[in-house]
Amino acid sequence: MSGIIGTEWLNSNLLRNYPLSQSATLKSIDGAFVIPDSLMVDMKIAIPFLANFHPTNAYVSAITVYPQGFVIQLGYKDITSIAVSDPILFSGFQEYSATYFRGVVSGLADFSQLFGTAIIGKVDSIKSYLGTFKFQLAGGRLESSVVSVGAKRISGIKVVRSEATTPVLSGQISFESGSNHSIQVTENTLKFNAVNGEGLQAQCECNDVQLGPCIRTINNVPGDPLGNIVVAAGDCISISNQSGGISISDSCAKPCCGCNELQVVVNDVESLSTQLSSLANQIAILTSNVQSLQATCLGSNVDSSSCAQDGS
């Protein structure tokens, strides 16, 4: 075998921790999983600039094994997830295949610009496992030579509009001046100016429209810093939105009858009124007759002669 000069880089790494640190224990937190030396044989990841960054704080934080394959997750110090690999499938796997890492946004920092690759050696030794196996820094520490950090620079730009935020824009980004707007460049400074005219767009058609005074207070109550005045519902009062305004309703005094029922009541009242008028007329006639009777009776004189027949 005198013709063999070296065992080749990747073949050599099948027999040692690399790209994990030689000091890494390789054991998961629960001790149920040990990372085989032959699983990963090379790796290179590039991390965007971080203050006080140290490459020995990067580590394999988890390996999740599925029946179809597995995924590798990277962490940094107390952040358990800064990047996740593409799935490595058992079916059709070829020795020394490459997988790619995609950076993620954690609650503590934005690692979305992180990228890297790992070379996978052999996978047969982990096919019998199933589940997610988590590691601490001491268990999955990466060798410092496989971790690089970017220069201190702008890695990307996000544009925030109201509540919507664009994805990270990277590469060569151009700022384009829009209507009634100009951008001044002075050395490393960009100055954004809102200007009137500037030959970019005609004046607004609404400029000559006379607007009435705006509402500043209601019952001498001013609005909040944004000018909003809240109309709150109280007992028996409900408030709802409608086109161009609000509707205020009394929910306690709402009639229980409709128009048809109310019309019946109106008709009965009108009939009662007619009957009362007729009754009043009858009373007037009766009163007149009684008065006539009284006058007749009081005006009659009784004759002094006897009512008896002659000769009686």
Write the pLDDT tens digit of every residue in 22-54: 999 999 999 999 999 999 999 999 987 777 888
Tokens (6 digits) for 254: 């709402």
Domain of residue 192, residue span: 177-204
Burial 21-40 (b: 16+ CB within 10 A, else e): beebbbbbeeeebebebbbb
Q: Are residues 197 and 233 in the same domain?
A: no
Q: Can you give the pLDDT at residue 158? A: 83
Q: Can you give the pLDDT at residue 1? A: 45
Q: Are residues 72 and 107 in the same domain?
A: yes
Average pLDDT along the chain, 312 residues, taken 10 residues at a time: 64 91 95 95 88 88 96 93 94 94 82 90 94 96 90 75 81 80 85 72 63 80 83 84 83 73 84 87 86 76 55 53
Q: Are residues 199 and 237 in the same domain?
A: no
Q: Are residues 93 and 29 in the same domain?
A: yes
Q: Can you give the pLDDT at residue 9? A: 86
Q: Are residues 129 and 194 in the same domain?
A: no
CA-nearest of 115, 70, 119 to 94 is: 119
Is residue 294 domain-resident? no
Is residue 255 domain-resident? no
Q: Are residues 99 and 16 in the same domain?
A: yes
Residue 97 to residues 64, 93, 196, Cα–Cα distance (Å): 18, 7, 60
CA-nearest of 5, 249, 18, 199 to 118 is: 18
Give, in degrees to the nearest 5, the angle at Cα 250 between 245 and 252.
155
Per the structure, how many domains does the chain have?
3
Q: Are residues 145 and 189 in the same domain?
A: no
CA 29 – CA 116 distance, rounded (Å): 25
